[in-house]
Structure 1
Amino acid sequence: MKKLFLNDTDFLLQTGTAQQLYHSFAKSMPIIDYHCHLPPDQIADDKQFGNLTQAWLYGDHYKWRAMRTNGINERFCTGDAPDFDKFQKWAETVPYTLRNPLYHWTHLELQRYFGINETLTGQNARRIYETCTEQLQSPTHSVRNLLRQMNVETVCTTDDPADSLEHHRKIADEQAAGSDFTINVLPTFRPDKSMAVEHAAEFNRYVARLEAADNSSITTFDDFLGTLARRHDYFAGMGCKLSDHGLEQIYAADYTEAAVRAIFDKVRSGVDLSGQDVLTFKSAMLVYLAEMDWEKGWTQQFHLGALRNNNSRMLAQLGPDTGWDSIGDFSQARALARFLNRLDTSDKLAKTILYNLNPADNEIMATMIGNFNDGSVAGKVQFGSGWWFLDQKEGMERQMNALSNMGLLSRFVGMLTDSRSFLSYPRHEYFRRILCNLFGNDMENGELPDDMEWIGEVVQNICYGNAKTYFGFSSKPLAAVV
């Protein structure tokens, strides 16, 4: 029998067993969003969006790419068109996104946040826009209530070492004073700019930001490391438990401390470095930063494989993170093995999550993690969930199948949003339905035992329990437990 599109009961769930796994075990699990790009100031201020475009289209390069491909002028993506006109152009694009995950995400978000069960088109755009905007202007749809609505327990934002974390502090202080907002909002240490020595002038401007944040002077490489270590300590004091790196590939060249100091002196003098000097410096910094994470028991994350800023004309016009990136075909295995082995040899390998953007690297990542899982922690080194271009149905299935075949899917820490939008949390539901469908189909086919209680527990752990244990998160806000 033909199924209804996006039917609440069995969407993506092909069997009765899959439906039972989802509805009885996965659906009600709280969400731990351990990697995202949500702006913490909007959580601290409990922002109220003025309209649906502000909540849904601002900053969303996924949608911009689709609109451009559909022939929509840039004025309606990142330009100065009125907010409703931008939404109208998005609504006209949606029917053309069939079989793109945007089609599913769009309608899941309309259903879950706004109770709208019809498909979005150019014809009903005005009515849907006004209905959603009216709800967004109500206190029931403030930023904090959007998080509550999706049963979010923990949010880990992505923050530069030079950030003040003032908004995290504001939230924590409110919670310590008895606020009814009980969701953990924690920073993540993202030190990419501290390694970005390709352009001396930009790097030195960044060092000045670090100096201001730490109220210190950075003259030598030791000063530089000391400042980063103090910022690392500051983040830890604010409840941080994770770092993150966005890299094309891991850097693992040999280096000496003397060579790294000399390179630092050179770039501080304003001299642009050779390619070999850049590689040497980045390789050393990855190790120094990884050792800081190990000392604190943090988890380090590596997002690998994005080929960024490919359209130089549009980069100059709009800047980075506006939709001009793609999957890269970088060599990953050998340098990654060298880097992890260097840390493991000195017994300073922190808990680690590896994310690949090129699906051709799935089996590389799934086997690499097994080289460094030493029995000290269940799933110490993780193959991270399908990321960016791969956080769609097929991408998630391929990642989980590779992990199942070559590791332990049962120890997987599950899904994250990696999003800048407060309306993106149905992606966790999307993942959970796909996960339950994989297990359910195997149970129906006799490839797994008909043990609903045990497999249901495994599903719950992948959705929630594994992450909670792995990261050491509390159910209570940081301010309530310190």
Structure 2
Amino acid sequence: MTFLHDNFLLNNEPAIRLYHEFAQNEPILDFHNHLPPEEIANDRRFENLAEIWLEADHYKWRAMRANGTPEELITGTGKPKDKFLAFANTMPHALGNPLYHWTHLELKRCFGIDLILGPDTAEEIWSLTNEQLKDSEFSALGMLKKFQVRALCTTDDPAESTEHHRKIKENPDINCQVLPTFRPDRAWTISDAVGFFDWVENLEQETDREIETLTDFLEALAKRVNHFHALGTRISDHSFPYFFSDFPSEEEARILFLDAMAGQTATRVETERFGAFIMLYLCRLYSAKGWTMQIHLGPLRNNSTRLMKNFGADAGTDSMGDWSQAEKMSRFLDKLDREDSLPKTIVYNNNPASNFTVATMLGNFQRDLPGKMQFGTAWWHLDQKDGIEEQLKTFANVGLLSHFTGMLTDSRSFLSFPRHEYFRRILCNLIGTWMEDGIIPDDIDLPGDMVRRICYDNARSFLELEGI
């Protein structure tokens, strides 16, 4: 039997039926990822496996570093084949790491290759995949078609051009809905006054207006929200260690803005207070437009000063934070809820110790529609079998799993769509085990309908994206 057989991760008969009858053939709605819109608009072709597989993949970078791989072959100037061979040398040591599963799912589903990646198979896999990459099926758009991706949402800075999204929208040959996500996290980074000033200058260019006061700044942000909405955006995205909930007065926010524009670096406390003010303003806009707000909660980023200096941010040196969450989260959500301005919300938690804290806090603010406040899918370091199961069990224990919006890749790679299959198999195995253990009825249609909706339809209904 091959490693990735038909019933991979499906350990009982109900799980096998749930997956093959209800989950396997559902399309994909990948509503949070980091795929570059430029590469979609231009239908990028990839020269070799290293380009499509190793560029900007933090998971692979971390594993390669753990295997002692020189940085030159990770983020450095090493030759593409040498980088791939270094990754292949890492694979035999990755047993138990989700990267082992993802790697072989991607080889099998994308290239039809059943070989186990390692030093002894690396040359053959390099040759086979590079030959297939010459086919248009392996272009950026070809991969979207191959995996039945009905819609995907990229991650987009409002101070940057949306020209590539305009090109995508105007191209009748692109059948997948490719929509921008509003990611304005730099809008409160006054702890870096120089960087903030540069960002505001970019925002001025994109809005064609001068920004001198806080009022100008807020109006420019609102203009970009309207612009994104016209392109089909219905989702925002934010990431912070914890909810900013120490709310300043408008006058204090005005002074903080002017000080930053004058080159005065803010303290951490001042930055978080300014962030709380901006987030409240944006959330009111999101709520009025019916958007969904995503919050990626809890990471401690860019821990290696050495790699930050040599490579920059997003070098794969982020980890779980151990922040206190409950009170700050409560104050933030409650303030918006009291004024009827709390948008639909999905919170992705980065630390499993906070699973029940986050999930139960969200439950305090449910109202108006099924599952308005979502405990999001297992994220980042938790995006593995144990983490996925624990997120699902937490959701089910304190909420209504039937309304869960399901999986997303959060990936920068066009080969990552098999992660939806990985999630679906784990979901079906968990639900099938509940059936076998008598925790839920042994009636395939009842959990089967829930599985089917979690795989696609719940997200489609919840997000209300155009064209799907």
Band the TM-score falls in, shorter-chain normalisation = over 0.9
Q: CA RMSD in A?
A: 1.0
Describe the SS at the equivalent of 1:153.
Answer: strand
Aligned to 1:95: 92
Aligned to 1:277: 270
Structure 2: distance between partners of 1:13 and 1:475: 34
1:83-482 maps to which residues of 2 (within 5 A)?
A: 83-175=80-172, 179=173, 181-374=174-367, 376-476=368-468
Structure 1: distance between partners of 2:353 and 2:342: 26
Residues 158-186 of structure 1: per-residue CA shift (max 9 Å, x gap): 000012211111111112xxx2x210000
Gapped runs of 5+ residues in structure 1?
477-482
Amino acid corresponding to residue 160 of structure 1 in structure 2: D
Amino acid corresponding to residue 182 of structure 1 in structure 2: N
Amino acid corresponding to residue 307 of structure 1 in structure 2: L
- Any conservation in 2 of the 1:155–1:183 contact (CA below 8 Å)? yes
Structure 2: distance between partners of 1:429 and 1:182: 21
Structure 1: distance between partners of 2:267 and 2:231: 38
- Any conservation in 1 of the 2:232–2:466 contact (CA below 8 Å)? no
- Structure 1 residue runs of 4+, over 3 Å off? none
Amino acid corresponding to residue 458 of structure 2 in structure 1: N
- Any conservation in 1 of the 2:287–2:342 contact (CA below 8 Å)? yes
Q: CA deviation at 1:5?
A: 2.3
Amino acid corresponding to residue 466 of structure 1 in structure 2: N
> TM-score, normalising length from structure 2?
0.99
- Any conservation in 2 of the 1:352–1:380 contact (CA below 8 Å)? yes
Structure 2: distance between partners of 1:250 and 1:129: 45
Structure 2: distance between partners of 1:254 and 1:453: 48
Q: CA deviation at 1:475?
A: 4.7
Structure 2: distance between partners of 1:292 and 1:314: 37
Structure 2: distance between partners of 1:143 and 1:424: 12
Q: CA deviation at 1:4?
A: 4.9
Amino acid corresponding to residue 403 of structure 1 in structure 2: F
Describe the SS at the equivalent of 2:387.
Answer: helix
- Are 1:15 and 2:16 matched, yes or no? no
Aligned length: 468
- Any conservation in 2 of the 1:211–1:227 contact (CA below 8 Å)? yes
1:40-55 maps to which residues of 2 (within 5 A)?
A: 40-55=37-52
Describe the SS at the equivalent of 1:355.
Answer: strand
Aligned to 2:4: 6
Amino acid corresponding to residue 289 of structure 1 in structure 2: L
Q: CA deviation at 1:473?
A: 2.6
Q: CA deviation at 1:279?
A: 2.2
Residues 319-369 of structure 1: per-residue CA shift (max 9 Å, x gap): 011111111101111111100000000000000001110110100111011
Gapped runs of 5+ residues in structure 2?
none
Q: CA deviation at 1:258?
A: 1.0
Structure 1: distance between partners of 2:107 and 2:257: 51
Q: CA deviation at 1:93?
A: 0.5
Residues 198-257 of structure 1: per-residue CA shift (max 9 Å, x gap): 111111111111011111100000000000000110000000000000111110003211
Aligned to 1:66: 63
- Any conservation in 1 of the 2:233–2:465 contact (CA below 8 Å)? no
Amino acid corresponding to residue 465 of structure 2 in structure 1: F
- Any conservation in 1 of the 2:50–2:81 contact (CA below 8 Å)? yes
Structure 2: distance between partners of 1:63 and 1:174: 33
Aligned to 1:479: none
- Any conservation in 2 of the 1:290–1:350 contact (CA below 8 Å)? yes
Deviates more, 1:98-107 or 1:120-129: 120-129
- Any conservation in 2 of the 1:220–1:265 contact (CA below 8 Å)? yes
Residues 79-112 of structure 1: per-residue CA shift (max 9 Å, x gap): 1111111101100111100000000000000000
Q: CA deviation at 1:266?
A: 1.1
Structure 2: distance between partners of 1:274 and 1:447: 51
Aligned to 2:25: 28
Q: CA deviation at 1:309?
A: 0.8
- Any conservation in 2 of the 1:153–1:475 contact (CA below 8 Å)? no
Describe the SS at the equivalent of 1:255.
Answer: coil
Residues 385-417 of structure 1: per-residue CA shift (max 9 Å, x gap): 000000100000001111111111111000000
Structure 1: distance between partners of 2:467 and 2:145: 14
Structure 1: distance between partners of 2:175 and 2:455: 20
- Any conservation in 2 of the 1:35–1:157 contact (CA below 8 Å)? yes
Amino acid corresponding to residue 351 of structure 1 in structure 2: K
> TM-score, normalising length from structure 1?
0.96
Describe the SS at the equivalent of 2:346.
Answer: strand
Amino acid corresponding to residue 287 of structure 1 in structure 2: L
Describe the SS at the equivalent of 1:90.
Answer: helix
Describe the SS at the equivalent of 1:447.
Answer: coil
Residues 284-329 of structure 1: per-residue CA shift (max 9 Å, x gap): 1110111111111000010011101111011100101111111110
Structure 2: distance between partners of 1:30 and 1:52: 25
Describe the SS at the equivalent of 2:93.
Answer: helix
Describe the SS at the equivalent of 2:313.
Answer: coil
- Any conservation in 2 of the 1:468–1:474 contact (CA below 8 Å)? no
Amino acid corresponding to residue 31 of structure 2 in structure 1: Y
Q: CA deviation at 1:474?
A: 4.5
Describe the SS at the equivalent of 1:131.
Answer: helix
